[in-house]
Structure 1
Amino acid sequence: MKYDYVIVGAGLFGAVFAHEMSKKGKKCLVIDKRDHLGGNVYCEDVEGINVHKYGAHIFHTNDKKIWDYVNSFVEFNRYTNSPIANYKGELYNLPFNMNTFYQLWKVKTPEEAKAKIQEQVEASGIKKPQNLEEQAISLVGKDIYEKLIKGYTEKQWGRKATELPAFIIKRLPVRFTYDNNYFNDKYQGIPIGGYNKLVEALLKGIETKVGVDYFEEKEKYDSLADRVVFTGKIDEYFNYQYGKLEYRSLDFQHETLDTPNYQGNAVVNYTEADIPFTRIIEHKHFEFGKQDKTVITREYPKEWEEGSEPYYPVNDKKNSEVYQKYKKLAEQSDKVIFGGRLAEYKYYDMHQVIASALARASKEE
C-alpha cells in the first residue's frame, strides 16, 4: 500500500480530514474530479476580486473551537451578513427586524410592530397550518409573507408554497430590534484573501491530484491505500442500487462590470416570483474591496439533473428513506469512510462540515 488514505473530494471535509491524519503521521492522497481544490468554497480571482464560484460562502459559528481552528490557518475579516430584499423595486432589510417593519408599515416601536403582526396573524384565521404558506402567514402575517417569503421560496424550491410542507419553516427569525445581522452566531467573517488560502493551508505538504474521476479508475485508487475517504454522492458510490437521491441545484451567471460598485451590498435577494433569479451577489463586498471593476453573480435555482451540481439535499420523507438504505450499506464497509454533505446527504454549513471531519479524524488511530 502506498498511502494510508486516499481521499476522494478536496472540499472542506476532505481537506480537514487529510490535514488531521497527516498530523498523525499518516500518508494521504487527495483527489478531485474538478480542476481545482476546495470543493464548493473555491474562489476564482477575477480582476483581483475573489469570486465565490459556487455561491456565497459566509463563515459563521458559535463554536469557539471551530472558529479558533480555522483562524489558525488564515485570518478572518469582520464581514457581517446583512442582506437586502428587493420586492418590485422596494428595498427591505433582512432578517425581519425593526428596520423591515418600519419600511413595511412605518411603525417605530416594538409594541407597534408586534401588534401589526399579531393583527395579521389573527385575521388569517389559520389554526393548524397545512403547508408552508399557511405556516408562514401564521407566524408573521400576510404582508411579510407576500413580499419577502412567497416568491423567493417558490423559486428556491421550484414548487408552489401551498405544495411545500409546513415543517420547512418551523420558525421565522423575527427581531424587535434595529439589527440587520443575519446570523445570530457569535463568530462570523470571510478569510482574508479568500477561501483558497484556508484550503491551501489545510493541504500544505499533502499530495493532491485534480481532474481525476475516481469512478473511472476506482480499482486503481482503492488499491493504493488501506482506507478510502469518500465525500461524493453516496448513491453514486453504490451505483444507485436503491435509486437516485434528489437535490436542488443552482445556475450561476457571473458578470464583470466596468463600475466600482454595482449594488452597495454583498447580497441582494429578489423576492418577487416574476424575476427568475433569487439573488445577486457582489463579491468584492465580502472583503471590502476597492477595485475599479466589480463582479456580480445571479443565482438561478433549478432541479438537479445528471451533469449539474448537486447543492441542496431534498430531505423529505421519500429521500430520507432511500438515504437510510444507503447509510446501512455504508456502515457495513470497513474500508470506506463516508463524510461531508453529499456522502451524508445532509445540508451542512461550513463549520458543521469541519466539525464532522474533525470528529471522524479523531476516531482514527
Structure 2
Amino acid sequence: MRLLHTSDWHLGRQFHGLPLLDEQARAMDQLVDLAGEAAVDLVVIAGDLYDRAIPPADAVRLFTDTLARLRATGAAVVAIAGNHDSHVRVSVYDELLAAQGVTIRGRWQRAAEPVLVQPRDGGAAVAVYPLPYLEPLLDGPELQPAARPARLDHQQAMDCALLPIHADRARRPGCRSVLVAHAFVAGGRTSESERDLSVGNAEAVAVPTFAGFDYVALGHLHGSQELDGPRLAYSGTPLPYSFSEQHHVKSVRLVELDARGNPAVEVVPLEAGRPLRTLEGELEQLLADPRLEEARGAWVRALLTDEQLPLQAMARLRQRFPHAVELRHQPPERASLAASERSQRILQASDPLQRTLAFFADQQGRVPDPEEERLLREALAQAAARRP
C-alpha cells in the first residue's frame, strides 16, 4: 500500500500579519498533483488542519476543495484534529463523509475504530487508526483511576488512548497497521511557530510508546524528521510559518508498505511559498550589497548592527526588499551580550538613575549624551515627586 503523509496545514494562518492563503492554495495544488501522479491509496493529514478553532470562511473552502480533489484521485483520506483545531467542528460530518472515503476524526473515543484501506493492487487491507490530539482526554474523567492525579499528562493520556487500539490490533492478526497522531514526541526538533503543549518537555511522549505499528504518521512539529528510522516520523508543514523554519526543506512523505508492513519512504520537497531570509549588518550595507539581490522576493528579517537605529529604517529596507516584515536592532555591544547578562548588569546598578542609564545603554548600544542624561534625570525627579 502507498500512502502520502502530510500535516500541519494551518490553513488561514498569517505571516507577520500578512495572509498566506494564496501560497497555501499552491501547496494544496502540489499535494493533489502528487497524490494523483503517485497513485497513492491513502492520504493522511496528521492534525492542525486549520490555524485556529474557528477558521475563516476562505480557509474552510480551501480545505473542503482540497479534500474533494484528493478523493477524486482515488485515494482514501484520513485526517485528525490537532491542538489548533476544534475537535467538534472539524469532525461534525465524520460519519457522513466516511461513507465517501473521507475520515476526519476529532473524538479520541473512536480512535480504536480503524479505517480499513484496501490497496489498489488488491493486497490485504491496512488498518489505519486516527488518534486526534488528546487535549479532551487530558481533562476528562473517563480513564482516571482515583490513584492518578486530577489531570493526566500527555504520556499517560497517550498510554490510555492506545490501550483499546492495541486491543483492536490483537483481534486482527497479520493485519498491517498505521497510526495517525498529533503529539510532541521526545527527541523531536522544535521551531518557534509551534504552539507549546506545556512547559519544557513535561508533556513529551516517549518513542517506545508507539511500538507495534508498521508506520506512525505524526503531526505537530513543523520540521520534517524521523525519530525511529522511517517508521515513526513528522512530515512537517507544507510552508514555513516562522523565521526559525527558514532552513527547513518543506516536504511530504510517500510511504510504501510492503506485504510485511516494512515502510520504504521517499521525502518529496514542496516548492510553494515565499522563501525566508535573515539579513544582518548595517542598514547602508544591506541596501547596497549586490549579493542580496536574490532576497528581494523573500520574506525578510533584518538584524541591524548600526550603533544607533537609523531613522525610517523599515521604510528604507522595504524600498529594496518589498517583503521585509521584521526588524531587530542589535548594535555591536548589545549583540555581544546574552539577554540574561544584560539584564543582570542593569539590575546590579546601584540606584534608579544608574539603572535608567544602564537600560538606555542596553537599548541604544551607547551611553546617553549630556542632553539625554539631563532629560532622564528630570524624568526620574518628576516621577519621584509624584510618589505619595
Q: Which has the higher contact order (CA 8 A, sep 6+)?
A: 1
Q: Could you say whether these structures have the same fold, taking a TM-score greater than 0.5 normalized by the shorter chain as the test?
A: no
Name which one, 1 or 2, has greater alpha-carbon Rg.
2
Q: Given the two structures, how large is their TM-score scaled by the length of structure 1?
A: 0.26
Q: Given the two structures, how large is their TM-score scaled by the length of structure 2?
A: 0.25
